[in-house]
């Protein structure tokens, strides 16, 4: 027994099979082609979107790297300028301190001058007051001995008025 081919079209249902295969190829083949095209289009779209996201991420990365480099260079410049800035601030503070010290010393000298002036005026007032009191007591003693009490009261009034003028 060997394998033989049956070439009888009606027995083998070759016509039915060819009709079914052609219907499947034409009807289902077009739907399959459309499905494959849609799938291909979806894949291409997804690849394009992924590529765009990659490019955006790459741009953000590059921007972040450039900001990082800028921050590093700024930090480096701050680190290099810090001693000079500190020295400059130190000198500024020292000069402000010197100015404030001069101002305080001048104020102190002015206060001393005013205190001396007040003390001098107080001493002057005390000396005038003591002198007038001594003159009054001398006059009282002198006029009491002489007996001129009426002219004495005129003299005392005159000394009191001079005292007010001298102390003013």
Which pLDDT score is estimated for 166?
59
Interatomic CA distance for residues 40 and 116, integer angstroms: 107
Mention every residue, 6+ apart, whose C-beta is less than 8 A from residue 34.
none
Question: Between these two residues, 15 and 45, which has the higher pLDDT value?
Answer: 45
Confidence of residue 24 (pLDDT cuts 50, 70, 90): confident
Tens of pLDDT along 109-159? 998 999 898 999 888 888 888 887 787 777 777 766 666 555 666 666 666
Global confidence as pTM: 0.39
Rounded to the nearest 10 degrees, the angle between the axes of helix 29-146 and helix 149-167 is 160
Which pLDDT score is estimated for 143?
66
DSSP letter string, the chain: --------HHHHTHHHHHHHHHHIIIIIHHHHHHHHHHHHHHHHHHHHHHHHHHHHHHHHHHHHHHHHHHHHHHHHHHHHHHHHHHHHHHHHHHHHHHHHHHHHHHHHHHHHHHHHHHHHHHHHHHHHHHHHHHHHHHHHHHHHHHT-HHHHHHHHHHHHHHHHHHH-
Which pLDDT score is estimated for 99?
92
Q: Token pair 């305080």 is at which residue? A: 104
Domain boundaries defined on the chain: 9-167
Tens of pLDDT along 39-75? 999 999 999 999 999 999 999 999 999 999 999 999 8
Q: State the CB neighbour count (10 A cutoff) for residue 163.
A: 17
């Amino acid at each position: 027994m060997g394998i033989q081919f049956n070439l009888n079209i009606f027995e083998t249902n070759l016509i039915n099979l060819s009709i079914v295969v052609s219907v499947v190829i034409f009807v289902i083949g077009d739907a399959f082609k459309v499905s494959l095209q849609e799938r291909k289009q979806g894949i291409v779209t997804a690849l394009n979107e992924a590529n765009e996201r990659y490019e955006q991420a790459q741009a953000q990365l590059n921007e972040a790297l450039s900001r990082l480099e800028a921050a590093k260079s700024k930090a480096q410049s701050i680190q290099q300028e810090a001693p000079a800035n500190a020295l400059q601030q130190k000198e500024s503070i020292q000069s402000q301190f010197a100015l404030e010290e001069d101002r305080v010393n001048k104020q102190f000298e002015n206060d001393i001058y005013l205190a001396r002036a007040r003390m001098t005026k107080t001493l002057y007032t005390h000396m005038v007051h003591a002198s007038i009191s001594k003159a009054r007591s001398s006059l009282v003693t002198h006029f009491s001995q002489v007996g001129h009490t009426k002219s004495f009261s005129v003299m005392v009034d005159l000394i009191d008025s001079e005292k007010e003028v001298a102390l003013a």
